[in-house]
Amino acid sequence: MVEWYNKALELAEIVDGRYPVRGTFVWMPYGLKIMRAMIREWDALFQKNGIEEVYFPLLVPIEYAQKNEEWFNGFKDNLYYVSSLREEENLILRSTGEPAMYPIFELWIKQGKLPIRIYQTVSSFRYEGRTTHTMIRDREITYWYEIHTVHKTREECEEEVERHTRMHDYLWREVLCVPPIEVRRPPFDVFPGAEYSIENFTILPDGRLLENGSVNNLGQAYAKKFGLEYVDEKGDRNYCWQVCTGNGARYIVAALLLHGDERGLVLPPRIAPIQVVIVPIYKKRNKDAVIEEARKTDLFLSKNGVKSCVDEREDATAGEKFYLWEIKGVPIRIEIGEEELKSKTLTIFRRDTKMESVVAKREMLRRVSSLLKEEIPNTLHKTADEFYKSKIKYSDEIGKAMKWIKNNGVAKVNWCEEKKCYDDLASLEQGIEPTGTLEDEHRMGHCIACGKKTPKLSLIGRTY
């Protein structure tokens, strides 16, 4: 999988991984357009839900980071410390937003700004060890969003958690065409200081689990450390309640790996920089007529909201053009040649199914719209769902579970949610980890570690 992934990133010109700092890379134009399309999706979604965009500095005073010892102890070995040759300042690079934001939140709350519901899309920096994978485990976690909210009551906080999990669900299903796997992490294995965390996981083609976004109910832990208090109508001081949520380029990892095939990428239409590529196929005698028709088709589609382009390159054959755009994962290819001109038709190729069909020119917009908005997303979602089902297998014995995991699968097991059982399962073999409790599925059975009767289920597998 890693070999396919790295080759696809290179051939499709998503990133250039040759930058000489481990765990960093250069976004190429095509890859950056994909990432920007994803950002536009979450921008629109968050702002529709009343969460406004801000930007906080990259440099964070270390005393801010040390206000919450639990956070600092959890991150201190992975922080980048900044030294200045001109003045004595103790700073770190942003690892997560809490230390930079919450001291400012204290000032905002004193000005009466509650609730606070903001987000930023930034890079975060963590010193990962020797093993790094582009967009999976980086030292510069690029294009990462963080939502941070502050509320007066526990009830408002819980409502916000629900809202954020719904937003994640929307991004997975509607934008990325991937069924979400949602788990509740055990309280002893959550974001530092959180009461609980709801996390999404992706199962990659090699059977490994990738944590892919989290919603964290911080309770009042950070409010108490940062002095986030408000005065109620009785004049009493009360600590606030908080939620933080984050994810980023790992969304793109899931889309590339779950939908891609032996020919390259297969992009979900909503994040595809080019949704339709038009390839004119001509000979010398009809070149001008074919290209003119291709340009007219492009203009018509563009005016109707479809992201389209014409491949007019003269130094590439039709076959070479097909090869390139299939690697790049463009959802639809339209071929226009002499036969199409005569019959007033278009040949439409679907990247997801690799199927061709001939469509009357007058039906083009209806057909393209149906493919981009319904048929291709539904097919991608169904294929990803079937892949997940092929990878997940219920096991009621540790031996069976381990055998399936070693066969590049993910074991679904009952567990009692106790820390000792979690630790026992996590120590079965290096790199294997329980995810936590599945949010939407229950099955009565016995904890695979201790034998206690429980309806709770977890997934166990190798992780990145």
What does the alpha-carbon distance between residue 37 and residue 296 come to, in Å, rounded to a whole number? Answer: 26
Among the three residues 224, 259, 294, which one is the final residue of a domain in this structure? 259
The pLDDT of residue 129 is above 80: no
- pTM, two decimals, is 0.94
Q: Examine residue 359 and state whether it is found in any structural domain, yes or no.
A: yes
Same domain, residue pair 325 and 178: no
- High-pLDDT (> 90) share of the chain, %: 85
314/400 same-domain check: no
Which residues constitute the domain of residue 9?
Answer: 2-259
Task: Pick the range with the lowest mean pLDDT from 34-38, 102-106, 192-196, 441-445.
Answer: 192-196
Task: Tell whether 76 is covered by a domain.
Answer: yes
Is 90 exceeded by the pLDDT of residue 2? no
Residue 244 CB coordination number (10 Å): 25
Say yes or no: 159 and 254 in one domain: yes
- Mark whether 102 and 237 lie in a shared domain: yes
Do residues 68 and 99 both lie within one domain?
yes
Q: Is residue 452 part of a domain?
A: yes
Residue whose entry in the numeric block shows the structure tokens 């001081």: 237
pLDDT of 30-61, one tens digit each?
Answer: 999 999 999 999 999 999 999 999 999 999 99
In the predicted structure, residue 131 carries a pLDDT above the cut 80: no
**Tens of pLDDT, residues 54-83:** 999 999 998 898 888 888 888 888 899 987
- Do the beta carbons of residue 14 and residue 28 sit within 8 Å? yes
Q: What is the pLDDT of residue 125?
A: 93
Looking up residue 416, the CATH number of its domain turns out to be 3.30.110.30
Mean pLDDT (the chain, rounded): 94
Output the 3-class SS for the chain. Answer: CHHHHHHHHHHCCCEECCCCCCCCCEECHHHHHHHHHHHHHHHHHHHHCCCEECCCCCEEEHHHHCCCHHHHHHHHHHCCEECCCCCCCCEEECCCCHHHHHHHHHHHHHCCCCCEEEEEEEEEECCCCCCCECCCECCEEEEEEEEEEEECCHHHHHHHHHHHHHHHHHHHHHHCCCCCEEEEECHHHCCCCCCEEEEEEEECCCCCEEEEEEEEEEECHHHHHHCCEEECCCCCEEECEEEEEEECCHHHHHHHHHHCECCECCCCHHHCCCCEEEEECCCHHHHHHHHHHHHHHHHHHHHCCCCEEECCCCCCCHHHHHHHHHHCCCCEEEEECHHHHHHCEEEEEECCCCCEEEEEHHHHHHHHHHHHHHHHHHHHHHHHHHHHHHHEEECCCHHHHHHHHHCCCEEEEECCCCHHHHHHHHCCCCCEEEEEEECCCCCCEECCCCCCEECCEEEEEEEC
Model confidence pLDDT, tens digit, residues 309-322: 999 999 999 999 99
Domain of 305: which CATH number?
3.40.50.800
Confirm whether 362 is domain-assigned. Answer: yes
- Whether 228 maps to a domain, the answer reads yes
Distance of CA 326 to the CA centre of its chain: 22
Average pLDDT over residues 90-103: 92
CA 135 to chain centre: 10
Domain match, 307 and 351 both? yes
Say if residue 132's pLDDT is above 80. no
Q: Are the beta carbons of 405 and 460 closer than 8 angstroms? A: yes
Burial class, 293, CB count within 10 angstroms (exposed 0-12 / middle 13-18 / buried 19+): buried
Boundary (domain end) residue, out of 338, 371, 404: 371
Q: How far apart are CA 276 and CA 301, in angstroms?
A: 9
Domain edge (last residue) among 371, 405, 433: 371
The pLDDT-based confidence of 130 (bands split at 50, 70, 90) is: low
Predicted confidence at residue 295, as pLDDT, reads 97
87 pLDDT tier (thresholds 50, 70, 90): low
What's the mean pLDDT in 92-109?
94
pLDDT at position 174 over 90: yes
Query: Both 188 and 250 in a single domain?
Result: yes
pLDDT of residue 341: 94
| Kind of pairing between the strands at 332-336 and 345-350 | antiparallel
Average pLDDT over residues 91-104: 92
Q: Are 15 and 9 in contact (CB under 8 A)?
A: yes
Per-residue pLDDT tens digits for 358-387: 999 999 999 999 999 999 999 999 999 999
At residue 89, the pLDDT reads 75
Confidence class for position 329, pLDDT limits 50, 70, 90: very high
CA pair distance 332, 269, nearest whole angstrom: 9
Read off the pLDDT of each residue in 433-454 and give the average, rounded to a whole number. Answer: 94
295 and 415 in one domain?
A: no
For residue 87, what is the domain's CATH number? 3.30.930.10
Q: Which residues of 2-23 are buried (b: 16+ CB within 10 A; e: fewer)?
A: eebbeebbeebebbeeeeeeeb
Pairing mode, strands 15-16 and 52-53: unpaired
Does 155 lie in the same domain as 293? Answer: no
d(CA 138, CA 102): 25
Position 85 confidence tier, pLDDT thresholds 50, 70, 90: low
285 plus 252 within the same structural domain: no
φ/ψ region of 436 (left if φ > 0, alpha if ψ in -120 to 50, else beta) reads left
Strand partners, 334: 278, 348
Residue 431 in domain: yes
Residue 223: band (very low, low, confident or very high) from pLDDT cuts 50, 70, 90: very high
Same domain, 234 and 312: no
The string of pLDDT tens digits covering residues 342-355 is 999 999 999 999 99
Statement to judge: residues 403 and 367 lie in one domain: no
Joined together, the tokens standing for residue 377 give 């997303």
**Residue 383 is assigned to a structural domain of this protein:** no
Contact 380, 419 (CB under 8 A): no
pLDDT value at residue 448: 96
Give per-residue pLDDT as tens, 391-429.
999 999 999 999 999 999 999 999 999 999 999 999 999
State the pLDDT confidence band at 271, using cuts at 50, 70 and 90.
very high
- For residue 87, what are the contacts with CB-CB under 8 A and spacing of at least 6? none
pLDDT at 86 exceeding the cut of 80: no
For the chain, the domain total comes to 3
Is residue 382 in some structural domain?
A: no
